[in-house]
């Protein structure tokens, strides 16, 4: 039994992430057509079942020759295009006209490029003095060797990766299932963004931030909507969402207010593992799991808190569920460009990191870091990890940054 005291302990973000990663399950494997596999996570190793190229291939348009042949002119026996194999043998005094990618005919051991030749009616003059055996030929297996592990399970299938999968003929492609995620915005103050906003009301923005963040990780949003601060309504919705999702993400309702209902409901409907993180923003993050294996993240309602929590905990969790080989974003040391306030918790400040003319990574924060100011994410390619301390940080001090995108170049 976890006691109430344990649950209210402030957990270091690294420990919280370890707890989350230890609680998530690996998703099943599905086999999809190549065209649907782009940016999915490969679920099995890809092994080359044959050599690539499978035949010695010309890398130039020209003439397939015997390298040691010194004949002043050669008879042209035929034309070898890509995609077929002519039954011709090249010997001294003869050549075969050949196109890039075509198999080199028997007997030939080099290709002289067309620019180094002079054609006549039914023969050709080789103008090149020295021809080396193997010249302009891609040997069998020079790109991939049979039995070679081309891609390891856990690789994301970008352009080169998907091309390699196609090239070795692995169809359909074994990929991890997408996590099925439900997004629940809670709060009586929320209205649909297209509806009129009454007194005291605000538009629900978190739902859409989270939908975009989830799309970026390759999750499948199976449901998204909002719920009022009403115990019975929230309870019924959570029960249903937990049953139909791998991951449920709620926003709001985890603070100390009278209508902060998510916290008690999660305690009732699931096993809560922590509900306070030593992090700013994002302190009241609730993390729970159900008996059936769904995981629930109760995010704070402030838009920045919700997104920083997503980055720090949900993204790694989803990537772990999909078996990604690299779960975390890169962390690099950066130099602060300006004085930066500190807090009493680990503060994740949004910043722009660029490489200066000396090759140093320099970070500039994006203005007010209020947890309601979603615009603090604009132009940010990093979250600075600012350790707590009494005095603010000076320009030139070094801190760690989580890179959300590559650093910008020097201005
Ligand atoms: P809560 O965590 O419910 O106490 O909400 C904290 C702050 O975030 C309040 O100012 C809410 O109005 C705001 N907030 C909560 N949910 C959303 C949402 N879905 N979209 C935008 N702001 C929200
Ligand atoms: Mg609320």
pLDDT, tens digit (0-9, with 9 covering 90-100), for 349-395: 999 999 999 999 999 999 999 999 999 999 999 999 999 999 999 99
Structure tokens at 93: 């005094």
Q: Mark the ranges of the chain whose per-residue pLDDT is less than 70.
A: 1-5
Query: Which DSSP letter does residue 208 get?
Result: H
Instruction: State which ligand 1 atom lies nearest to the alpha carbon of 305.
Output: 8
pLDDT at 3: 52
- Beta-carbon contacts of 385 under 8 Å, excluding residues fewer than 6 positions away, are 331, 346, 347, 348, 399, 400, 401, 402
List residues, by chain if needed, whose CB lies under 5 Å from ion ligand 2. Answer: 187, 252-253, 301
The Å distance, Cα 100 to ligand 1 centre, comes to 62
Most ligand 1 atoms within 8 A of CB, residue of 190, 195, 197, 252 to mutate: 252
Q: What is the pTM of this model?
A: 0.95
Q: Is the CB of 298 under 6 A from ligand 1?
A: no
Residue 121 belongs to what H/E stretch?
A: none
Give residue 177's pLDDT: 98
Q: How confident is the model at residue 48, as a pLDDT?
A: 97
pLDDT at res. 259: 87
Share of the chain above pLDDT 90, in %: 95
Cα distances (angstroms) measured from residue 339 to each of 171, 296, 326, 386: 55, 37, 33, 12
Chain-centre distance for alpha carbon 311: 13
Q: What is the pLDDT of residue 75?
A: 97
């Amino acid at each position: 039994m976890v006691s109430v005291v344990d649950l209210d302990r402030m957990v270091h973000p690294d420990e919280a992430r370890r707890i989350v990663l230890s609680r998530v399950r690996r998703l099943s494997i599905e086999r999809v057509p190549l065209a649907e596999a782009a940016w999915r996570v490969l679920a099995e190793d890809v092994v080359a079942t044959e050599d690539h190229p499978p035949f010695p291939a010309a890398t130039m348009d020209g003439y397939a020759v015997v390298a040691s042949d010194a004949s002043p002119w050669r008879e042209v026996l035929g034309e070898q295009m890509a995609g077929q194999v002519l039954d011709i043998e090249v010997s001294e005094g003869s050549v075969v006209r050949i196109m890039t990618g075509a198999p080199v005919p028997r007997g030939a051991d080099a290709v002289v490029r067309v620019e180094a030749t002079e054609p006549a009616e039914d023969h050709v003059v080789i103008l090149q003095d020295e021809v080396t055996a193997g010249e302009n030929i891609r040997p069998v297996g020079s790109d991939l060797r049979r039995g070679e592990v081309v891609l390891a399970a856990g690789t994301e299938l970008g352009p080169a990766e998907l091309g390699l999968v196609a090239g070795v003929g692995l169809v359909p492609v074994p990929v991890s299932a997408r996590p099925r995620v439900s997004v629940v915005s809670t709060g009586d103050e929320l209205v649909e963004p297209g509806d009129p906003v009454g007194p005291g009301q605000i538009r629900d923005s978190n739902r859409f931030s989270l939908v975009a963040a989830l799309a970026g990780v390759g999750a499948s949003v199976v449901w998204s909507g909002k719920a009022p601060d009403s115990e019975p309504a929230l309870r019924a919705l959570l029960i249903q969402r937990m049953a139909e999702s791998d991951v449920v993400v709620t926003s709001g309702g985890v603070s100390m207010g009278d209508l902060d209902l998510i916290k008690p409901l999660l305690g009732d409907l699931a096993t809560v593992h922590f509900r306070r993180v030593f992090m700013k923003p994002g302190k009241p993050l609730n993390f729970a799991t159900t008996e059936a294996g769904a995981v629930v993240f109760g995010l704070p309602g402030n838009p920045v808190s919700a997104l920083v929590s997503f980055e720090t905990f949900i993204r790694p969790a989803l990537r772990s569920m999909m078996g990604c080989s690299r779960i975390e974003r890169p962390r690099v040391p950066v130099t602060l460009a300006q004085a930066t306030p500190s807090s009493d918790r680990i503060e994740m400040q949004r910043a722009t990191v660029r490489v200066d003319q000396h090759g140093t990574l320099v970070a500039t924060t994006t203005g007010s870091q209020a947890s309601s100011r979603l615009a603090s994410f604009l132009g940010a390619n990093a979250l600075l990890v600012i350790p707590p301390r009494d005095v603010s940080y000076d320009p030139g001090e070094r801190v760690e940054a989580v890179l959300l995108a590559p650093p910008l170049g020097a201005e």
